[in-house]
């Protein structure tokens, strides 16, 4: 695979990113592709590994290692190196229904487990993937695939995020009649309203939805299952139902001043901002305000980038954990996902605008304080020290004398999710739940109710796009098997036996 000496001949090249300060003046994607010649060189760096760990798709020490949808990465790297783009696309689509989403918004655990990464920077897998699918659309290679035969079986899918879309795509291709219910006014789930436009432009999502519609999938929008349509109605109309409702119950902070005006959940902010961009709806506006983001993950970084584009006065991001090391430490060995210090797109933008990285590490928020008008005025914090015992258990303690008051008129809470939101559908069904998620075993996906299945974040909890696609494809295999007695759809599980 690739050029025999490519990993020695060529260095890793990063994708072309627009100037951090300039791009905050618009909402377009900040990342653009490398040239074809550059990507051929990057494909040449693929090492012809005996065992390509980039595609193992495992969870090690709580983090994803390799690609959960088992993309044939070395194969399409080699085809790109040889300039055979259409064949590379065919290989990519064997395992991934939506490379245009993962190529833009996936954290690329495949690169973290690239064998070349043991001693050198990993292959630019994510950039190559994105360019393959973009070329597919640009050259007209992606066209509607209309099923020749229909089975007469009907399947309802609740939720149009990546898990729902993947299961819909798979089931439609084997001839079932698929209807996707979405409570929002546009399909796509978090792809549409959770990931901001500068990471994933919405015409990219809408292009895929249009394609799925052309292939025969029916989308019913502005419809909340369990409220606008009852389970009795779903059970009467459909032979099977799949719950792909996500894990959108946001984790909250219970502390003094939480109800102060100006303190919001991050996802509410991001959703409203995208709706404002697309259709002019009212949103939470950070213009001229001091903004604090609580939570050190990707959602928090997206809040930073959004606030910058709204022309905030300042922005700071609080993280619970210490600053990561510059390189892997002994407890974070390859092929685990590298827990190292990185600078995300939003952090580069904030640094370019304000002259310093917006992140503060090991910070504990103590209280929110309102001003005389009742709106948020300041946030009180204290620094923390993290220690780990011999069993690996981490504890945090406050450091006396490190108390600080931060001016703030807006706070966004981005500390993760607790599971699926309480929905009338779940109450009507009497579904078993576990840790806030719909209970079903991986590989079976059926709930405690016959003919009702679940997949994606609704089942496994907050996770990655690639895991949602994995579960969407797997649940489609099981539903097809349930309806027809056997299934011709591929299964990662059965292929690995």
Using CA atoms, how far apart are residues 186 and 203, in angstroms rounded to an integer?
A: 12
CATH topology of 154-248+418-496 equal to that of 252-415?
yes
Cβ atoms of residues 188 and 204 within 8 Å: no
Torsions phi, psi for 179 (to 5 deg): -120, 130
**Cα distance between the two ends of the chain:** 25
Calpha distance 408→368 (Å, rounded): 9
Q: What's the whole-number mean pLDDT along residues 453-466?
A: 96
* CA distances, 228 to each of 194, 215, 236, 241, 245 (Å): 23, 26, 15, 16, 15
Domain ranges of the chain: 6-138, 154-248+418-496, 252-415
More confident position, 388 or 424? 388
> Quick check: 3 pLDDT over 90?
no
pLDDT exceeding 70 applies to what percent of the chain?
98
Query: pLDDT exceeding 90 applies to what percent of the chain?
Result: 88
Structure tokens at 339: 């827990």
Is 362:252 a contact under the CB 8 Å cutoff? no
Using DSSP, state whether 284 is helix, strand or coil. Answer: coil
pLDDT in tens, 345-397: 999 999 999 999 999 999 999 999 999 999 999 999 999 999 888 787 889 99
CATH architecture, range 6-138: Orthogonal Bundle (1.10)
DSSP letters, 326-393, are SS--TTS-TTSPP------HHHHHHHHHHSS--EE-SEEEEEEEE-TTSBEEEEEEEEEEEEE-TT--
Retrieve residue 431's tokens. 């579904």
**Pairwise CA distance, residues 363 & 380, whole Å:** 10
Structure token pair of residue 175:
């001839």
Mean pLDDT of 94-99: 97
* pLDDT the model gives residue 331: 87
* Whether the Cβ atoms of residue 252 and residue 267 lie closer than 8 Å to each other: no
In angstroms, rounded to a whole number, what is the distance separating the alpha carbons of residues 476 and 487? Answer: 9
pLDDT attached to residue 231: 87
Structure confidence at residue 419 (pLDDT): 86
pLDDT in tens, 17-30: 999 999 999 999 99
Q: Taking residues 83-87, report their average pLDDT.
A: 97
Specify the pLDDT at position 482: 98
376: Cβ contacts below 8 Å, ≥ 6 apart? 257, 260, 261, 262, 263, 368, 369, 370, 408, 409, 410, 411
Residue 326 has pLDDT above 90, yes or no: yes
- Asked if 234 and 225 touch (Cβ cutoff 8 Å), the reply is yes
Using the predicted structure, report yes or no on whether residue 425 has a pLDDT greater than 90: no
Q: For strands 263-265 and 410-413, give the pairing.
A: parallel
pLDDT of residue 422: 64
What φ, ψ does residue 458 adopt, rounded to 5°?
-60, -30
pLDDT at 260 over 50: yes
Whether the predicted pLDDT of 38 surpasses 60: yes
Radius of gyration over every alpha carbon of the chain, rounded to an integer in angstroms: 23
25 vs 23: CA distance, rounded Å: 5
Helix (H, G, I), strand (E, B) or coil at 104: helix
Q: Which residues contact 5 (CB under 8 A, 6 or more apart)?
A: none
Between 163 and 391, the higher pLDDT residue: 163
Cβ 245 vs Cβ 419: under 8 Å: no
Looking at residue 495, its pLDDT comes to 56
Asked whether residue 497 carries a pLDDT value surpassing 50, the answer given is no
With 0-12 / 13-18 / 19 or more C-beta atoms within 10 angstroms meaning exposed / middle / buried, residue 373 is exposed
Residue with tokens 């360019």: 131
Q: Of 204, 131, 205, which is closest to residue 165 (Cα–Cα)?
A: 205
Cα separation, 399 vs 259, whole angstroms: 27
Is 419 within 8 Å of 249 (Cβ atoms)? yes
Is the pLDDT at 174 greater than 60? The verdict is yes
Q: CA 143, CA 137: separation in Å to the nearest integer?
A: 8
CA 291 distance to own-chain centroid: 24
Contact (Cβ atoms closer than 8 angstroms) between residue 105 and residue 196:
no
Residue 424: what pLDDT? 66
Residue with tokens 């496994």: 460
Question: What is the assigned CATH class of domain 252-415?
Answer: alpha beta
Cβ contact 68:166 at 8 Å: no
What pLDDT was estimated at residue 226? 87
Q: Read off the tokens for 283.
A: 């949103």
* Residues 154-248+418-496, CATH architecture: 3-Layer(bba) Sandwich (3.50)
> Which residues are within 8 A (CB) of 258 and not within 5 positions of it... i.e. 6 or more apart?
252, 368
Helices (H) and strands (E) in the chain, counts: 19, 22
Give the mean pLDDT of the chain: 94
Region for residue 453 given its phi and psi (left: phi exceeds 0; alpha: psi -120 to 50; beta: otherwise): beta
What is the tens place of the pLDDT at every residue in 97-129?
A: 999 999 999 999 999 999 999 999 999 999 999
Confidence of residue 299 (pLDDT cuts 50, 70, 90): very high
């Amino acid at each position: 695979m690739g050029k025999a000496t490519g990993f020695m001949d060529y260095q890793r090249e990063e994708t072309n990113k627009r100037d951090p300060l300039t791009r905050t003046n618009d909402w377009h994607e900040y990342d653009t592709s490398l040239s074809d010649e550059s990507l051929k060189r990057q494909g040449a760096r693929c090492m012809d590994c005996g065992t390509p760990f980039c595609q193992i798709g495992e969870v090690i020490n709580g983090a994803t290692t390799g690609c959960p949808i088992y993309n044939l990465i070395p194969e399409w790297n080699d085809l790109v190196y040889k300039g055979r783009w259409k064949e590379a696309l065919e290989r990519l689509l064997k395992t991934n229904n939506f490379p245009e989403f993962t190529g833009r918004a996936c954290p690329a655990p495949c690169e973290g487990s690239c064998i070349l990464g043991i001693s050198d920077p990993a292959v630019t897998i994510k950039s190559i993937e994105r360019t393959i699918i973009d070329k597919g659309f640009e050259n007209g290679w992606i066209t509607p695939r209309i099923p020749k035969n229909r089975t007469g079986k009907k399947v309802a899918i609740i939720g149009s995020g990546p898990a729902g879309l993947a299961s819909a795509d798979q089931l439609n291709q084997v001839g079932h009649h698929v209807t996707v219910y979405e409570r929002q006014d546009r399909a796509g789930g978090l792809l549409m309203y959770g990931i901001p436009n500068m990471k994933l432009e919405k015409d990219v999502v809408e292009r895929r939805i249009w394609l799925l519609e052309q292939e025969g999938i029916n989308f019913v929008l502005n419809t909340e299952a369990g409220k606008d349509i009852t389970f009795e109605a779903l059970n009467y109309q459909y032979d099977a139902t799949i719950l792909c409702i996500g894990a959108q119950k946001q984790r909250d902070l219970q502390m003094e001043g939480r109800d102060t005006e100006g303190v919001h959940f991050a996802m509410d902010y991001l959703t409203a901002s995208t709706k404002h961009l697309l259709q002019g709806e009212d949103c939470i506006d950070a213009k001229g305000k001091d903004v604090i983001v609580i939570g050190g993950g990707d959602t928090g970084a997206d809040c930073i980038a959004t606030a910058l584009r709204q022309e905030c006065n300042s922005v700071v991001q609080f993280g619970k954990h210490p600053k990561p090391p510059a390189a892997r430490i002994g407890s974070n060995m390859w092929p685990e996902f590298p827990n190292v210090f990185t600078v995300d797109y939003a952090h580069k933008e904030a640094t370019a605008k304000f002259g310093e990285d917006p992140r503060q590490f090991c910070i504990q928020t103590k209280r929110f304080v309102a001003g005389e008008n009742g709106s948020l005025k300041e946030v009180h914090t204290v620094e923390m020290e993290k220690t780990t015992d011999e069993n690996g258990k981490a504890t945090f303690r406050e450091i006396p004398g490190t108390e600080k008051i931060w001016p703030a008129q807006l706070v966004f809470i981005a500390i993760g999710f607790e599971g699926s939101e309480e929905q009338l559908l779940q109450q009507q069904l009497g579904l078993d739940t576990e840790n806030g998620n719909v209970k079903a075993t991986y590989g079976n996906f059926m709930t405690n109710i016959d003919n009702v299945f679940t997949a994606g974040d609704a089942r496994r909890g907050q996770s990655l796009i690639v895991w949602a696609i994995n579960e969407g494809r797997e649940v489609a295999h099981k539903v097809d098997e349930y309806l027809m007695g056997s299934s011709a759809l591929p299964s990662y599980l059965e292929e690995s036996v």
